[in-house]
């Protein structure tokens, strides 16, 4: 099973598959242990941590405040012990999860952590660390993505509010979609102006095309101009 088969669209981690060694990662090791490095597996590089508390970390910049992000990583353990994956410095308490050995030393397990950035936070630091135990631990395919539900994204909320202001009955938005008003109970307001419609059109255009809710927003905008 190829753990790299999943699409990495939207991944904010640089060199998350360690194909460039540990470039973009800041390594740490004790004076008596082996520095973090990579090793070959099936023609690809994977991260190898040997000494207890050996680790690598990467600070991800350009994040949005009050936004949900998810860290995902695959890890495996050579004999015993565990891989620790964590997120810190994001405007909330440090979060960690552990990957222990499964049925064999060749079997990968997936771990994930979801965090929400603080009101002024624009960066976070992710890290991978070897816990107690003998033998090496390995990690690969590290991803950190915006996982905010569509209905909670600022662009969607702004577009929904602008569209709702055009009609006599309000539209509503859930975490995944906008619910249109019915035809007879959602007529355009007499006070709606071309400027109001232009503002709504601008807000709808700002919603990323890859969001499913955009089609519904565009349909509501079309109804306002019909």
pLDDT tens column, 64-109 = 998 999 999 999 998 888 999 999 999 999 999 999 877 677 789 9
Per the domain annotation, does 21 fall within a domain? Answer: no
Residue that is last in its domain, among 131, 146, 161: 146
Chain segment 212-221, per-residue pLDDT in tens: 899 999 998 9
pLDDT > 70 in the chain, percent: 88
Same-domain status, 125 and 186: no
The alpha-carbon radius of gyration of the chain (Å, integer) is: 23
Give buried/exposed letters for 139-148 (b at 16+ CB in 10 A, else e). bbbbbbbebb
Query: What are 16's strand-pairing partners?
Result: none
Same-domain status, 124 and 162: no
Average pLDDT over residues 171-185: 50
Question: pLDDT: is 182 or 204 the higher one?
Answer: 204
Same-domain status, 92 and 67: yes
Number of domains in the chain: 2
Per the domain annotation, does 108 fall within a domain? Answer: yes
pLDDT at 159: 93
Per the domain annotation, does 2 fall within a domain? Answer: no
Q: Structure pTM? A: 0.76
Both tokens assigned to 192: 């709606």
**Banded pLDDT at 7 (limits 50, 70, 90):** low
Per the domain annotation, does 160 fall within a domain? Answer: yes
Residue 91, classed as helix, strand or coil, is coil
- Nearest CA to 57 out of 47, 69, 46 is that of 47
**Banded pLDDT at 3 (limits 50, 70, 90):** low
Per the domain annotation, does 6 fall within a domain? Answer: no
Same-domain status, 136 and 168: no
pLDDT at 1: 40
In which domain, by residue range, is 166 found? Answer: 150-225
- Judged against a pLDDT cut of 80, whether residue 195 lies above it is answered with yes
Chain segment 129-173, per-residue pLDDT in tens: 998 888 899 999 999 999 998 888 888 999 999 998 888 765 555
Residue that is last in its domain, among 90, 111, 146: 146
pLDDT at 81: 84
Cα separation of 172 and 174, whole Å?
A: 7
Per the domain annotation, does 9 fall within a domain? Answer: no
- Judged against a pLDDT cut of 70, whether residue 176 lies above it is answered with no
**Banded pLDDT at 56 (limits 50, 70, 90):** very high
Chain segment 151-160, per-residue pLDDT in tens: 888 889 999 9
pLDDT at 73: 97
Mean pLDDT of the chain: 86
CATH code, domain carrying 57: 2.60.120.260
Same-domain status, 120 and 213: no
Same-domain status, 48 and 136: yes
Per the domain annotation, does 93 fall within a domain? Answer: yes
Same-domain status, 213 and 135: no
Same-domain status, 75 and 182: no
Both tokens assigned to 131: 């816990």
Question: pLDDT: is 199 or 30 the higher one?
Answer: 199
Residue that is last in its domain, among 113, 146, 179: 146
């Amino acid at each position: 099973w190829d753990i790299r088969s999943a699409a990495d669209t939207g991944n904010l981690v640089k060199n998350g598959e360690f194909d460039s060694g540990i470039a973009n990662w800041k390594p740490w090791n004790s004076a008596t242990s082996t520095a973090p490095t990579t090793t070959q597996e099936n023609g690809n590089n994977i991260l190898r941590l040997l000494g207890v508390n050996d680790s690598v970390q990467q600070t991800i910049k350009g994040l949005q405040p009050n936004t949900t992000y998810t860290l995902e990583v695959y890890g495996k353990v050579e004999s015993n012990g565990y891989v620790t994956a964590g997120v810190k410095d994001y405007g909330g308490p440090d979060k960690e999860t552990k990957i222990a050995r499964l049925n064999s030393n060749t079997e990968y397990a997936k771990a994930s952590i979801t965090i929400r950035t603080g009101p002024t936070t624009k960066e976070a630091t992710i890290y991978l660390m070897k816990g107690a135990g003998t033998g090496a631990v390995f990690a690969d395919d590290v991803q950190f993505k915006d996982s905010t539900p569509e209905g909670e994204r600022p662009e969607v909320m702004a577009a929904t509010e602008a569209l709702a202001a055009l009609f006599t009955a309000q539209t509503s938005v859930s975490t995944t979609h906008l619910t249109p008003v019915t035809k007879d109970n959602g007529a355009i307001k007499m006070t709606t102006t071309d400027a109001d419609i232009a503002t709504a059109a601008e807000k709808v255009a700002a919603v990323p095309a890859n969001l499913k809710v955009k089609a519904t927003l565009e349909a509501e905008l079309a109804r306002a101009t019909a």
